[in-house]
Amino acid sequence: MGNLAKGSPLIKKLIFFVSYLTRAEFHHAVNEQYQRIVQYFKPQFLLGLTATPERMDGKNIYEICDYNVPYEISLKEAIDKGMLVPFHYYGIYDETDYSGLHLVKGHYEEKALNETYIGNVARYELIYKYYMKYRSKRALGFCCSRQHAEDMAKEFSNRGIPSVAVYSNANGEFSEDREKAIEKLMNQEIKVIFSVDMFNEGVDIPALDMVMFLRPTESPIVFQQQLGRGLRTYKGKEYLNVLDFIGNYQKAGLAPLILSGTKAFDEKRACEYNELEYPDNCMVDFDMHLIDLFRELDKKSLSIKERIVREYYKVKELLENRVPTRMELFTYMEDSVYQYCMKHAKENPFRRYMEFLQDLQELSEEEQRLYHGIGREFIAVMETTDMQKVYKMPILYSFYNDGNIRMEVTEEEVLKSWKQFFDNGTNWKDFADNISYEDYKRMTDKQHLSKAKSMPIKYLKASGKGFFIEKEGYALALREDLKDIIQLEAFKAQMKDILEYRTMEYYRRRYLQGSQI
């Protein structure tokens, strides 16, 4: 066995790698530790499994997989097929006033929520009333903080409903180790677990018959994860009761849209929840006060331009006040806002990013020079050039040349960039319709070059507003008056950002189109 002997360092690493990937759902592949492990082993084939493929913490899961998705199933489909139990969702009006609470990076501060919830007798009564109304053998309540979880466990226990709080580094009066708490819940020694970020994922308690949302819904992904804790099938379990206590917080009204599987939130209204389509045998019921609240919030909603600008500043704050690149804005932008941008070219900052930054007075001194010269027009060409196919990208990458931008490219340089691009991951699938990997590998350099000349090179010369020209001895060249422009560091950064973003967006779009077939 050599290096593969039992107990060898390699075997230990492999065991750790497998156990790590098994425990951590694939949406964690965006984090640095996960990426280091994957890069260390350099797998030829990597299968990712997750129930929440949408962006977690703003990172793009699909991009890691080159947008290759062999199978996916929605929440609605899973319930309709009996893989998960139906839900009975109750949106309960909570008079708690959030209007004076400060938002930090799009989230309510823990301290402010604690001050709002702890000692709030009216809220205790409301939660207890609805818990008793719908009854439960085993319930899970999601809280905003350790102190909140302790407080709720104490309140319920004092009312004769044995409860514990579960959170990391637990040391409170009502705290309990997670595994011990689950065991007690299963044995019905306790009735409720109040948790803080310990049951969002990776833990299954199929016997749960109720989940309670006791804090503002701020993230569709976290909401889905927490809902999913209770949707597992279990003998004798017909449905899951969901109690959502909703006040006038910023994202009130997300729940009905999430439950229906709606993704384009900007085109739907929460107050129209009865018109949404929910999974089979599911029920969604809102207090009438909430319908009035949703209508009021809709009236106060920002214009899409204001939302995009607000989203920009939110991302900038996340980046510690650094101006985001296109890729960073995409990565951290709220998904519903990004989807709107993609459908409305006129308001899409990704098609005119320098103009967008100029309007916000966010361009640096060197970027101002670039903006007020011919470089701005060239950047606009790269931002907006038609991308029904991906062929132009390797040609533009041959000019970019890892930041040492060329004024002209030879056939050999084009060929190298072209093959490097299509050899990456499964990009070869875009070389031609219905091509197999074996067919692709049989392609000669002459055939590759012929394709590059007959498609992207030809079209860049025709539709590149005169920036791409013929030059003797070269496959393609740039106009002479760009010579000084391409030396600017600001231009190099802009070109790199455009190529990375447009390549990513092409594959994102291709995936979405394929998933709708």
Which pLDDT score is estimated for 242? 96
Place 56 in a pLDDT band, splitting at 50, 70 and 90: very low
| Model confidence at 340: pLDDT above 50 | yes
pLDDT in tens, 245-274: 998 887 777 787 788 876 544 445 555 656
- Most confident region among 3-7, 257-261, 315-319, 321-325 by mean pLDDT: 321-325
Which H or E run contains 46?
none
Determine which helix (DSSP H) or strand (DSSP E) holds 252, and give its type and residue range: none
Average pLDDT over residues 72-96: 89
What's the CA dihedral at 153, 207, 204, 211 to 10 degrees? Answer: -50
> Do 407 and 483 meet the contact criterion of CB atoms below 8 Å apart?
yes
- What is the mean pLDDT of the segment spanning 9-20? 43
Side-chain half-sphere CA neighbours of 18 within 13 A? 5
Q: At what angle do helices 304-318 and 335-343 cross, to 10 degrees?
A: 130
Give yes or no for a contact between 253 and 271, defined as CB atoms under 8 angstroms apart: yes
% of the chain at pLDDT higher than 70: 81
Across the range 395-399, mean pLDDT stands at 97
Amino acid 193 reads I
**Residue 50 binned pLDDT confidence (cut-offs 50, 70, 90):** low
Mean pLDDT of the chain: 84
Q: Which residue has the higher pLDDT, 71 or 121?
A: 121
pLDDT of residue 272: 60
Residue given tokens 């129930």 in the structure block: 51
Say if residue 156 is exposed, middle or buried (CB neighbours under 10 Å; 0-12, 13-18, 19+): buried
Cα(54)–Cα(289) distance, integer angstroms: 31
pLDDT value, residue 52: 58
Closest to 150 in 3D by CA, of 161, 160, 164, 138: 164
Q: Indicate if the pLDDT at residue 216 is higher than 80.
A: yes
* Complete DSSP assignment for 49-118: --S--S-BTTB-HHHHTTT--S----HHHHHHTTSS--EEEEEEE-----TTPPEETTEE-HHHHHHHHT
- pLDDT reported for residue 1: 35
Highest mean pLDDT among 54-58, 260-264, 382-386, 411-415: 411-415
Q: What is the reported pLDDT for 36?
A: 73
Cα–Cα distances (Å) from 387 to 154, 161, 285, in that order, read: 59, 60, 44
Q: In the predicted model, is pLDDT for residue 244 greater than 90?
A: yes
Residue 259: the pLDDT is 84
Structural domain boundaries in the chain: 2-64, 84-300, 382-485+499-515
Q: What is the pLDDT of residue 58?
A: 43
CB atoms within 10 A of CB 485: 20
Q: Packing angle between helix 411-422 and helix 392-400, nearest 10 degrees?
A: 120
Which pLDDT band holds residue 458 (cuts at 50, 70, 90)?
Answer: very high
Q: Cα dihedral angle (315, 318, 319, 322), rounded to 10 degrees?
A: 60
What average pLDDT does range 84-101 have in this prediction?
92
* Residue range 466-515, pLDDT digits in tens: 999 999 999 999 999 999 999 999 999 999 999 999 998 888 887 776 65
pLDDT at position 17 over 50: no
How many angstroms from the chain centroid is the CA of residue 316?
Answer: 17
**What pLDDT score does 406 carry?**
97
Geometric angle at alpha carbon 207, from 206 and 213, rounded to 5°: 85
281: exposed, middle or buried (C-beta count within 10 Å: 0-12, 13-18, 19+)? middle
Query: Six-digit token pair at 215?
Result: 């804090």
- Note the pLDDT of residue 355: 95
pLDDT at 191 over 60: yes
Question: CB neighbours of 312 closer than 8 A, spacing ≥ 6?
Answer: 324, 329, 349, 356, 360
**32 pLDDT tier (thresholds 50, 70, 90):** low
Q: In this structure, what is the dihedral angle of CA atoms 275, 280, 286, 292, given to the nearest 10 degrees? A: -10
Report the SS3 class of residue 393. helix
Position 390, amino acid: V
502, with CB counted inside 10 A (0-12, 13-18, 19+), is buried
Mapped onto helix, strand or coil, the DSSP state of residue 483 is: coil
Tell whether the model's pLDDT for residue 517 goes beyond 50: no
Give CA–CA dist 452/446, Å, rounded.
10
What confidence tier does 342 reach under pLDDT thresholds 50, 70, 90?
confident
Q: Give the closest residue to 90 by CA, choosing from 195, 239, 236.
A: 239
Give bridge partners of residue 377 from the DSSP assignment.
Answer: none
pLDDT at 180: 94
Q: Which residues pair with 240 in a beta bridge?
A: 87
CATH code for the domain defined by 84-300: 3.40.50.300
pLDDT of 299 above 50: yes
Residue-level pLDDT at 281: 92
pLDDT of 12 over the 80 cut: no
| Radius of gyration, CA atoms only, the chain | 27
pLDDT at residue 7 in the model: 46
**378: nearest Cα among 405, 414, 402:** 405
Task: Tell me if the pTM is above 0.75.
Answer: no
